[in-house]
Copies of this chain bind each other. A is one copy, B any other.
């Protein structure tokens, strides 16, 4: 039985080009900081990678800081600004309520260090009230951090408008673009942001390499202090293997427009079939702008965790907003913040398609989902009572 991997927002399989490059890149094992011959290969691979990635995101090469991944990029952006502006009058931070844990937990940490943190509401359709947002930005706001696309629902946030509003009051703007790369067309220059986070492994590269776009002149204290790597913005010997794999995916972006449409057709068919064949389903964020690969649905009376494990037995990999699966006691805070009840979040399912997903996969997924949901609902207390099913 072929495994159907519909969890591309969690991570992606490395592209064939990445597997092909492994050995060659690992051969460039020298330390890029060495000035003898063994450092030259890695150094030029690093320079090439920086150019590739800067072109992927629409930045200048020197505005790219390599990190170990998206979580580090997010931590660096927030803490980097905080420690630089700490002793100025700008001490107010604004984030949306649906940010990734690496933003949310960092915001809580900044609060413990004396920052004033406030949150921007996002409604059930994934919409932010821009007037309300504008009123939240203060003359003391240091940084606004709002993700470009949400990992759980795929909703796309109006970063260009928001960064303009923030800048009008002199605040900096960071966007977590980890989920956006390779799933929508954008450039950091066009968005007008000062900082933007990226991760290689969410777009068919290896784990271990991420990037932070740092617009020229943006105040930023390093998160990793030490050697002079990355122009003293991030210490530590560079992970050339993962960085080169990240850079290699740039070629794939030429196909992006076509792939966005392809995934949209599949995702829409998937949602259409599910809504048609299974009762008590609603799609979260359906009325808003969404990434074309993501679908987040609430299946009434179907515990996400149970569903996930049942689908897994049928060879289907998906995600859920249910508690435990995320290692936490509570179901998805982001879904709850959008107005879903605890039960709805617990009954939510995330499907995220990839560039190799096929119509066949979608159809088999719908068949299996229908079967599994029917079975789970039969064993629900409500059903048992009404249908007298004995266990």
| Chain A contacts to B: CB under 8 angstroms | 3, 5, 7, 10-14, 18-19, 22-23, 26, 29-31, 33-38, 68-72, 74-75, 83, 100-106, 108-109, 113, 199, 201, 206-209, 221, 223-228, 235-242, 308-309, 311-312, 315-319, 325-328
Interface pair B74/A317, CB less than 8 Å apart:
no
Determine how close the nearest CB of chain B comes to the CB of A208; give it in whole angstroms: 4
Which residues on B sit within 8 Å (CB–CB) of A37? 3, 312, 315, 317
Determine how close the nearest CB of chain B comes to the CB of A231; give it in whole angstroms: 10
Which residues on B sit within 8 Å (CB–CB) of A224? 71-72, 75, 102, 223
Which residues on B sit within 8 Å (CB–CB) of A7? 31, 34, 36, 38
Report copies per complex: 2
Interface pair B317/A237, CB less than 8 Å apart:
no
Interface pair B101/A236, CB less than 8 Å apart:
no
Interface pair B100/A240, CB less than 8 Å apart:
no
Determine how close the nearest CB of chain B comes to the CB of A335; give it in whole angstroms: 16
Given contacts A26-B14, A68-B236, A228-B327, contact A34 B317 (CB under 8 A): yes
Which residues on B sit within 8 Å (CB–CB) of A206? 26, 29, 239, 241
* Complexed CA–CA distance, A205 and B316 (Å): 34
Which residues on B sit within 8 Å (CB–CB) of A207? 29, 237-241
Closest to A238 in B: B207
Determine how close the nearest CB of chain B comes to the CB of A46; give it in whole angstroms: 11
Given contacts A22-B26, A26-B206, contact A101 B235 (CB under 8 A): yes
7 inter-chain pairs at a CB distance below 8 angstroms, sorted by A residue, are A7-B36, A22-B26, A29-B207, A72-B236, A75-B223, A101-B225, A241-B242
Closest to A242 in B: B208
Which residues on B sit within 8 Å (CB–CB) of A36? 7, 308-309, 311-312, 316-318
Q: From the candidates B29, B30, B69, B226, name the one contacting A100 in the complex (CB within 8 A).
A: B226
Q: From the candidates B19, B38, B235, B326, name the one contacting A5 in the complex (CB within 8 A).
A: B38
Apart from A36-B309, A103-B226, A228-B326, 19 more pairs, CB < 8 Å:
A3-B38, A10-B33, A11-B237, A14-B26, A19-B23, A22-B26, A26-B206, A35-B309, A36-B312, A69-B239, A70-B237, A72-B224, A72-B236, A74-B226, A100-B226, A102-B236, A104-B226, A207-B238, A228-B328
Determine how close the nearest CB of chain B comes to the CB of A95; give it in whole angstroms: 13
Which residues on B sit within 8 Å (CB–CB) of A34? 7, 10-11, 317, 319
Closest to A312 in B: B36
Which residues on B sit within 8 Å (CB–CB) of A236? 68-72, 102
Interface pair A237/B74, CB less than 8 Å apart:
no
Interface pair B106/A225, CB less than 8 Å apart:
yes
* Complexed CA–CA distance, A317 and B240 (Å): 19
Closest to A11 in B: B31
Closest to A40 in B: B312
Q: Which 7 A-B pairs have the closest CB atoms?
A: A102-B226, A71-B236, A68-B68, A208-B239, A105-B225, A228-B327, A208-B208
Given contacts A31-B11, A102-B224, A235-B101, contact A208 B68 (CB under 8 A): yes
Closest to A18 in B: B26
Determine how close the nearest CB of chain B comes to the CB of A113; give it in whole angstroms: 8
Q: From the candidates B19, B208, B225, B318, name the one contacting A102 in the complex (CB within 8 A).
A: B225
Determine how close the nearest CB of chain B comes to the CB of A62; give it in whole angstroms: 16
Interface pair B226/A223, CB less than 8 Å apart:
no
Determine how close the nearest CB of chain B comes to the CB of A58; give it in whole angstroms: 25
* Complexed CA–CA distance, A102 and B7 (Å): 37
* Complexed CA–CA distance, A272 and B326 (Å): 60
* Complexed CA–CA distance, A272 and B262 (Å): 69
Which residues on B sit within 8 Å (CB–CB) of A31? 7, 10-11
Determine how close the nearest CB of chain B comes to the CB of A323; give it in whole angstroms: 12
